[in-house]
Amino acid sequence: NSEDDLHDEL
Amino acid sequence: MNIFRFAGDMTHLISILVLLLKIYATKSCSGISLKTQELYALVFLTRYLDLFTDFISLYNTLMKLVFITSSLAIVWCMRGDPAVRRTYDKEIDTFRHYFLVLGCFVLALLLHEKFTVQEVLWAFSIYLEAVAIIPQLVLLQRSGNVDNLTGQYVLFLGAYRAFYILNWIYRYLTEARFTRWIACISGLVQTALYADFFYYYFISWKNNAKLKLPA
């Protein structure tokens, strides 16, 4: 899902 | 978000504040590698391309803006401000960092999450950040004496990715499908590069002596 695709870390 | 990652981000922020303090308070950038600062500016510019397309959180967006503007401000100041520019160790900051950029770009073309512009540049920024400190460490070895603020800058910079490693371990243990091999392995290489600096920093702290890196 899109959540995993995003790089949520800096 | 977990405490390790938050501690890592705060440590990273502190390292940048210490560097800004050193440059603006002492009006000097002696001991600071302009090449490393240029590499960091490139790291943030290529990593945060999603700044305007993917909104993660206010914190995430704010920190990205802080990292991009501060790294550009430092490069601009070291290149542009006459007073600071005069103190730049031009003759010993000679590491050919273009090879680092080229090598990381080729590696990113080979190893990435997805073959898209954004993902290849993201992987490039991860690899480049791992080696960006090399010109700075080389400069410190050549310059011999390291002033306190510069030493603290490099110490916090090295410590931040160590916190991220704890963050990845934590997320791996607590989240079902958490695998970030590119960031994890690069982060381990990045932190390992600071190993000898950490060692000499600890020795100088223990003996209450001036920090000196062996040539």
Would you list the domain boundaries of chain B?
3-207
- Which residue of chain A comes nearest to B176, CA vs CA? A4
User: Measured between alpha carbons, how far is B150 from B19 in angstroms, rounded to an integer?
Assistant: 7
Mention every residue, 6+ apart, whose C-beta is less than 8 A from residue B36: B97, B132, B133, B134, B135, B136, B139
Give per-residue pLDDT as tens, B111-135: 999 999 999 999 999 999 999 999 9
User: Measured between alpha carbons, how far is B119 from B67 in angstroms, rounded to an integer?
Assistant: 19
Query: In the A/B pair of chains, how many CB contacts fall below 8 A?
Result: 20
Give per-residue pLDDT as tens, B63-79: 999 999 999 999 999 99
By the 8 A CB rule, do B22 and B77 touch? Answer: no
pLDDT at residue A4 is higher than 70: no
Q: What is the ipTM of this complex?
A: 0.90
Please list, residue by residue across B20-49, b when 16 or more beta carbons sit within 10 angstroms of its beta carbon and e when fewer do. eebbeeeebbbbbbbbbbbbbbbbbbbbbe
Give per-residue pLDDT as tens, B142-176: 998 899 999 999 999 999 999 999 999 999 999 98
User: Measured between alpha carbons, how far is B1 from B111 in angstroms, rounded to an integer?
Assistant: 26
Closest Cα in chain A, distance from residue B57 (Å): 9
